[in-house]
Amino acid sequence: MIDHDPWLLTPGPLTTSRTVKEAMLHDFGSRDQRFIDINKQVRSRLVDIIDGASSHVCVPLQGSGTFVVEAMLSNFVPRDGKILILINGAYGERMRTICGYHQRATETIEWPEDQPVDPKSVAARLSADPDISHVAIVHCETTTGILNPIAEVGEVVAKAGRSYLIDSMSAFGALALSAQKISFDALVASSNKCLEGAPGMGFCLARKGALEATQGNSDSLCFDLYQQWKGLEANGQWRFTPPTHCILAFHQALNEFDEEGGVAGRGGRYRANCELLVTGMRKLGFETLLPDELQAPIIVTFKMPADANFDFQSFYDGLSARGYVIYPGKLTVAESFRMGCIGRLYAEQMQGALDAVKTVMKEMGVASGQP
C-alpha cells in the first residue's frame, strides 16, 4: 500500500503542496480585516500575472472552473449579442452548451480535436458575419492538451473590432499571457490548475470598461460578475459566503508561485515534466496523439496501444495502486488516455509514474519498446 495521497496526473483536481493544504487550517469570518486584505492581495496579484494592473480587474467567483466560464459568457455577451465559439475539444463544446442555456445567439467553427484553431477561418467568418459581437476560444484545450494560437486569433478579432473572451483555465500561470500584447475583454481561470491552489473558486480578469458595460446583462443573480465586482470594490467582501479556506490556500499558492519564479518558473517545471513524460512513454512504445509542436506542457494524450493484451482498466488500476492517477481520454478521433504534467509534481513523480507504467505493462504482458 502507498503511504501518501495519490499523485494526480490529471486535468484536475490537482496535487497541491503540503503548505497550501496547511494554509486552510484557519477559520476566518468574512468581515475579518485580515481576510479582506488577503482577498485584495489575491485579486491584485492575479491581475499582475497578465501585466494588467493598468487595464484589467479581477472578479473571483465561487465554484469550479465551469462556473466562471458560464459567468463570463452570460455576462459579456448581451442578450442581443451573437457569439462565435471556436471548438476543437470538449471545453469549447461546453461553451456552446452554456450559451444554449442562456439563449445567446451562437455560431461555431469546429476543428478535429487534433488540430488547432485556425485564425484564417476566424477572419473569414468574421468578415462574412458582421452580427458576430464576441469570439470565444480555449487557450489550452485540455481534452487533448493542444495549444490554440490565442495571440494570432486575438489579432484577427481585434482587427475586426469584436470582443474577445478566453478560457485559459488549464494554461493560466504556466503559459505567458500579457494583457499588453493580447487584446481581450475577459479571461477566466481557476484556483486549482497551474496556480496549484485548492479547487473551489474561479476568477475572471476583465478589461475594466468592458466589465462596466456588462451591467444588466446577467440573467443570473449568482453569476452576475458586475455585481460581484461592485460588491468587492465597495467593502472588500464577497456578496455571498466566500470560500474562505480556498482563498487562504490560494494566497499561499500564489506565494509559492512567486517563489518558483512566476510564469517562467512554473511553466519551466511543467515543460520539464512534459518532456520527461513524453520521452519516457515513447521509449515504452507509446505514441502521442499530437506532434510536439502542437503540444502544450499541460496534459499529454497517448494513443491506446494496439497490443491485444493491453486493457485500460487494468492499466489504470495498476497505476492507481502504485499511487499514480491518470485520466481516460474523451476523444472522437482516437482511443486514448491522458497524463497530466501540472500540479505539485516534479521530475521524481514523473519518473515514478514512468516506472509504474513499465511495471504494469509487464504485468499485463504488453510488449513495451524497452527490453
Ligand X SMILES: *Cc1c(COP(=O)(O)O)cnc(C)c1O
Name the site residues for ligand X (rule: CB under 6 A). 11-12, 64-66, 69, 91, 138, 142, 167, 169-170, 190
At closest approach, how far in Å is the CB of 273 from ligand X? Answer: 17
At closest approach, how far in Å is the CB of 202 from ligand X? Answer: 7
Q: Give the position of cell 480535436.
A: 113
Q: Is 215 exposed, middle or buried (0-12, 13-18, 19+ CB in 10 A)?
A: middle
At closest approach, how far in Å is the CB of 312 from ligand X? Answer: 22
At closest approach, how far in Å is the CB of 82 from ligand X? Answer: 22
Q: Identify which of residues 138 and 353 has a Cβ nearer to ligand X in the complex.
A: 138
Instruction: List Cβ neighbours of 3 (8 Å cut-off, separation of 6 or more).
Output: none
Instruction: List Cβ neighbours of 119 (8 Å cut-off, separation of 6 or more).
Output: 149, 152, 153, 155, 156
At closest approach, how far in Å is the CB of 131 from ligand X? Answer: 26
At closest approach, how far in Å is the CB of 310 from ligand X? Answer: 27
Contacts 24+ apart (CB under 8 A), 52-56: 52/178, 52/179, 52/180, 52/205, 55/179, 55/180, 55/207, 55/208, 56/179, 56/205, 56/206, 56/207, 56/208
Instruction: Give me 145's grid cell.
Output: 492538451
Q: Identify which of residues 246 and 356 has a Cβ nearer to ligand X in the complex.
A: 246
Beta-ladder partners of 146? 141, 295
Q: Identify which of residues 52 and 65 has a Cβ nearer to ligand X in the complex.
A: 65
CA dihedral 276, 338, 331, 182 (to 10 degrees): -60
Residue of 268, 267, 295, 269 whose CA lies nearest to 281: 295
Query: How far is 290 from 242, CA to CA, in rounded Å?
Result: 40
Tell me the residue nearest to ligand X as measured from the CB: 65
Q: Identify which of residues 169 and 187 has a Cβ nearer to ligand X in the complex.
A: 169
Query: How far is 54 from 251, CA to CA, in rounded Å?
Result: 22
At closest approach, how far in Å is the CB of 187 from ligand X? Answer: 12
Strand order in the sheet with 299-303: 299-303, 336-340, 327-328
Q: Identify which of residues 35 and 184 has a Cβ nearer to ligand X in the complex.
A: 184
What radius of gyration, in Å, describes the C-alpha atoms of the chain? Answer: 21
Q: Identify which of residues 110 and 307 has a Cβ nearer to ligand X in the complex.
A: 110
Instruction: Give me 296's grid cell.
Output: 502544450
At closest approach, how far in Å is the CB of 167 from ligand X? Answer: 5
At closest approach, how far in Å is the CB of 190 from ligand X? Answer: 6
As separate numbers, helices (DSSP H) first and strands (DSSP E) second, the chain gives 12, 14
Residue of 80, 297, 272 whose CA lies nearest to 173: 297
At closest approach, how far in Å is the CB of 267 from ligand X? Answer: 16
Q: Identify which of residues 194 and 360 has a Cβ nearer to ligand X in the complex.
A: 194
Q: Identify which of residues 75 and 142 has a Cβ nearer to ligand X in the complex.
A: 142
Bond from prior residue into 13 cis (ω within 30 degrees of 0): yes
Q: Identify which of residues 344 and 366 has a Cβ nearer to ligand X in the complex.
A: 344
Q: Identify which of residues 190 and 273 has a Cβ nearer to ligand X in the complex.
A: 190
Instruction: State how far Cα 155 lies from the chain centre.
Output: 22
